[in-house]
Structure 1
Amino acid sequence: MFRLPVLRFPFPPSYRDATESFWESLRYFNFYRAAVAAVFLVGERFDPEMLNLGSRDPRMFVYTSAAYLALAVVFHLLLRRWRAYFNAQLTLQVITDIVALTLLMHASGGLRSGLGVMPLVSLAGAALVSRGTLMLFYAALASIAVLLEQAYWVLMFDAAIATFLPPGLLSIGYFATALITNRLAQRLIMNERLARQRGEDLANQLRINQLVIQDVQDGVLVVDPNGLVRQQNRQLTVLLGRPAPELDQIEQYSTELAGQLEAWRAGNGPSSVTLRLSESGRLVRARFVAAGVAGGSFTLVLLEDLSKFQEQAQQLKLAALGRLTAGIAHEIRNPLSAITHAGDLLQEESQGSGRDRLLSIIRDNAKRLDRMVHDVLELSRRDRVQIEKIRLRSFISGFIDDYAQNEGIARSAFVIEVPEDATVEFDRVHLNQVLWNLMHNSWRHCRHQTGSIVLRVLSRPGRVELHLIDDGEGIAKQLQAQLFEPFFTTFSGGTGLGLYIARELCAANGAGLDYLDRGTGADFRILWQAVQ
């Protein structure tokens, strides 16, 4: 016994693969349906003879058009309130189109009315969003409908068998339209999915790159051809010593860095330079790399903090130096004591200017050696840090009083410009030693007048600065690089360890000490960075 195959329509409870664009396409297609029904309804009322609408059965044409328009309204409400069963809704709408258009064609006199091509639009629209073999099912329904309508004319009005040729060709057109449109739609859908996937991959990659840039230890800037910083990371704020501006010219970040970048872009500078940022005092290595964007016009600037490497090397060096100097200091002090004692005895027993001069030389050099031993021992004790909060105004005022009294200097020679609320964290003994060394150096080179030395505290975003400024001639540029090196001095009676020890004590307390070239006078700056 012959059995017809059972058609199973894939109507899942929720059309999960139907994207939002599919639902929007179905909604716009329903607007077209409502417009066609309205045009048919209005056209039949105003001039049916010219349009050849409803020429055979006007009442059927009007009723069908009205029902077609009503169903379009129902479909619109359904699409707005219930977006589920996509295939089921699509199939219901296509069947409605086929039935309504077939009835309208029949009421207008059959295929000669020209309405036989109207299902092509419905089939093309359905093929754009349908899946699998549904498009063929819709084309088959349209073909059966148009062939049955023609069969009616053949059976009821003895039309020639040859009249089946036009609906047959039209049926072929239905299948061809459904297949071609569906294949094109599938290609567009695949391209859309690929574009969406690539967009998501690109967004993920950009997010990963952003996280990596923010977490790297180097400072990162992306600079466009006009010098505008398009992107930066958090580490840049630490290196600059202040909050980094957003979307600003690179000159607002660092004038030194801007000059090096301009020279590199002009082909007159190296791709890697070492410079010290003026505001934070940090030593950094700047590397310039063409980003390869827009013909390489964008530049990636990488700032490597060299201060940490210097501090680590310095720590290792000082650990060994501390052990060595402690032993040397004890060994020096024993003969030094004997020299001093022998000089004192010689002074008591001897007479004459020549011997007095020799005794003076013995005493002066013994004192110099004693100061050197004292400084070296201070250096070996730099790791014994007891951090505490210090109110700078009261501390500096007390320090100036002690220093002026011990050195026999008028108090009016010092000017204090310190806010009342300026507070830092530092070892009190170390800060006293640092200021004593700096003050001793400044007083030696200033003019010894009223207000010759100024102690000024500046509170800036993210940092506190203590400046010790004198009115002397300043330090020659060729000597500035050697200022903080051990045993470097331009004073015949100095040990060359004062500034070196001051800087090491600052480093041990998490601060920095550097020299600012102001042109006239010396300006030593102690810099405290805010805790991040």
Structure 2
Amino acid sequence: MPIAWPPSRRGAGVTESAVGADAQFSETQWRSLRYLNLYRFLLASLLFLASAGLSSDFSPFLYEYSRLHVSVTAFYLLATVLAVMPLHRWRTLFNLQLSLHVAVDIVVLTILMYASGGLRSGFGVLLLVSLAGAGLVGQGRLVLSYAALATLAVLGAETYLALGGEIEPHQFVQAGLLSAGFFAMAISARLLAKRVLANEELARQRGVALANQTLVNQRVIEEMQDGVLVVSQEGIVRQHNPRAESMLGLREAADAPLADYSAALATRFAEWRSGAVGELEPFRVDASGLTLRARCVPTESSERDVLVFLEDMGRVHERARQLKLAALGRLTANIAHEIRNPLSAISHAGELLAEERREETQDRLLRIVNDNTQRLERIVRDVLELGRRDRVHREAIEPQAFLSSFLEEFCSKERVDPMVVNSARSNCPPLCFDRSHLHQVLWNVIGNALRHSRRDRDSVVVELISPDAAHFELHIRDDGEGVPAALREQVFEPFFTTHSRGTGLGLYIARELCEANGARLELVDNSPGAHFRIRGDLSGDGKSC
């Protein structure tokens, strides 16, 4: 059974084809067609006024054809009015509209040329203008067909006049030259139009590419980890990215003085402009608590604006620390177990020697061997502890019970009088922390405080508070000499120690474990001894994290 094609579908196919054909014409071509129609309307208006309003002495038309040229110019004016007004809104069938307009021009101007005595009337020049306009607007072979149609019309009119004996035969040469001009004008206008359209398309593509690149650049600048400010030579901030706002702790509008953003940054900018310094010194922003370093880069803009890049020194130090940790991890992963095996043999041999009878000198040497093997064992154990950083299992921890149990174990193993370490009672809600990590953090921090304390009553104080409903702060203070200002930046670096029996890894590991649990270990100002603060999250419901 044959399948009948639905009539509605067949009509839809024609519509889709027409829409697809007109989709290839740009807005510029439709606008050019409208300008051509405006010219035709003005020309028709002038011709109508000349035919209907001027006397026979001044009219370009022959008197015997007065009725003809009035009727033709009236028709031409009506046709151009329709082309300018209703047809302008009908954005379909571009080629058909243009062809109708050109055909009307050719017919009307040829009739007027006949009514004015042939080529000597000058209406052939108006045909050149119409063909030039059609060449600029039209496409390909259509332009040549317009020139051919105009040629046939002119030659036909001249032939009719010649048969009536109204013109001389030599005027056919002028008609031929004019026809050649039709083709030359149409081809030249078309070539010019193609170049204009190609340049327009290239400009459009470049505009789109530039817009896309601008969006990409804007997104890159917004997502940069460094702050970026565009500053004028007078110190006025023209633009800045969101990272600069967070770094400076402000939300100033653009076109504000740099000093309103940061007085220290304005000072660094003035130093850079004066050329008195090479690399600018870092500065601290109180609003955000960050230490920043500014880098100024001049631009080639007309205003000679300056790009100011803000770099978080904390992130720089963190990257350096992570690189150091990675190198340390690769090293220790390969040799930790290899160290432990001979270390265990040395320790066991020392214990066997201690059971034998020996002199005092041998006892002293054995103590040196045992002390150093224990220290090496602690170093290996601390280094291997770093491997547990990523294995976090946070849980709700009852703080008072945990601290009481921890301090009892700590004082027992470290052989410390329980009165030396004092823990103030607190009603703090449950903490959100990995239990084994918190145990290791407290052991390292309190052990460090104990080594630098006087070991008197309450030499080490542990205090737990909750400054708000979502966070806790655990303060550990000692009564030692505190941390010198020159060493504060190095306290948390691996293998940095000021104690003869320290490994230099305790505070470093404690901070790493705190960060793994979303907490932060900080060194606060001396009071008068060292003061460390652990700030972390509380358990929301007291049961889970």
Return the TM-score normalized by structure 2. Answer: 0.63
Question: Kindly tell me: are residues 281 and 378 of structure 1, through their superposed partners in 2, closer, same or farther at Cα, counting changes over 3 Å?
Answer: farther
In 1, are the aligned partners of 2:297 and 2:306 still within 8 Å (CA)? no
2:186 corresponding residue in structure 1: 178
1:6 corresponding residue in structure 2: none
Q: 1:388 aligns with which of 393, 401, 416?
A: 393
* SS of residue matched to 1:14: helix
Distance 2:262 2:443 in 1: 32
Deviates more, 1:131-140 or 1:427-436: 131-140
- CA displacement 1:165-186 (0-9 Å, x = unmatched): 7656655554443344333323
1:323 corresponding residue in structure 2: 337
1:484 corresponding residue in structure 2: 492
Deviates more, 1:466-475 or 1:477-486: 466-475
- CA displacement 1:133-154 (0-9 Å, x = unmatched): 5434433433443454455445
Post-superposition offset of 1:377: 3.2
Q: 2:419 aligns with which of 408, 411, 414?
A: 408
Question: Kindly tell me: are residues 440 and 136 of structure 1, through their superposed partners in 2, closer, same or farther at Cα, counting changes over 3 Å?
Answer: same
What is the one-letter code of the residue matched to 1:408?
A: M
Question: Kindly tell me: are residues 41 and 380 of structure 1, through their superposed partners in 2, closer, same or farther at Cα, counting changes over 3 Å?
Answer: same
1:310 corresponding residue in structure 2: 324
1:29 aligns with 2:36: yes
* SS of residue matched to 1:408: coil
Distance 1:300 1:506 in 2: 31
Post-superposition offset of 1:109: 5.9
Q: 1:64 aligns with which of 41, 54, 72?
A: 72
Return the TM-score normalized by structure 1. Answer: 0.64
Q: How many pairs are equivalent?
A: 487
1:192 aligns with 2:200: yes
Distance 2:531 2:136 in 1: 77
Post-superposition offset of 1:220: 6.3
1:83 aligns with 2:87: no
What is the one-letter code of the residue matched to 1:122?
A: S
Q: 1:427 aligns with which of 426, 434, 459?
A: 434
Post-superposition offset of 1:67: 3.0
What is the one-letter code of the residue matched to 1:380?
A: L
- CA displacement 1:265-301 (0-9 Å, x = unmatched): 8584459x99999999999999988887778955788
Post-superposition offset of 1:126: 0.9
- CA displacement 1:38-60 (0-9 Å, x = unmatched): 45446655556687276633433
Identical amino acids, percent of aligned pairs: 33
1:377 aligns with 2:381: yes
Q: 2:110 aligns with which of 102, 107, 123?
A: 102
What is the one-letter code of the residue matched to 2:444?
A: N
Unaligned runs of 5+ in 2: 1-17, 412-417, 538-545
* SS of residue matched to 1:387: coil
Post-superposition offset of 1:309: 2.8
Post-superposition offset of 1:512: 7.8
Post-superposition offset of 1:34: 3.4
Structural RMSD (CA) = 6.2
Distance 1:401 1:221 in 2: 46
Matches within 5 A, 1:71-470: 71-72=79-80, 75=83, 77=86, 80-81=89-90, 83-84=92-93, 86-107=94-115, 114-156=122-164, 158-161=166-169, 170-171=178-179, 173-200=181-208, 202=210, 219=225, 224-226=230-232, 266=275, 268-269=277-278, 298=307, 305-320=319-334, 322-324=336-338, 326-327=340-341, 330-331=344-345, 334=348, 373=377, 376-377=380-381, 379-384=383-388, 386-391=391-396, 395-402=398-405, 407-408=418-419, 423=432, 426-442=433-449, 468=475, 470=477
1:19 corresponding residue in structure 2: 26
In 1, are the aligned partners of 2:113 and 2:119 still within 8 Å (CA)? yes
Question: Kindly tell me: are residues 365 and 313 of structure 1, through their superposed partners in 2, closer, same or farther at Cα, counting changes over 3 Å?
Answer: closer
Post-superposition offset of 1:72: 3.6
- CA displacement 1:18-45 (0-9 Å, x = unmatched): 4332233223322333343345446655
- CA displacement 1:94-128 (0-9 Å, x = unmatched): 11111122234444565565544322331121111
* SS of residue matched to 2:92: coil
In 2, are the aligned partners of 1:286 and 1:301 still within 8 Å (CA)? yes
What is the one-letter code of the residue matched to 2:384?
A: S
What is the one-letter code of the residue matched to 2:324?
A: Q
Unaligned runs of 5+ in 1: 1-10, 343-354
Distance 1:15 1:109 in 2: 41
- CA displacement 1:320-373 (0-9 Å, x = unmatched): 45325644664575478689999xxxxxxxxxxxx9xxx9xx999989986885
Question: Kindly tell me: are residues 81 and 451 of structure 1, through their superposed partners in 2, closer, same or farther at Cα, counting changes over 3 Å?
Answer: farther
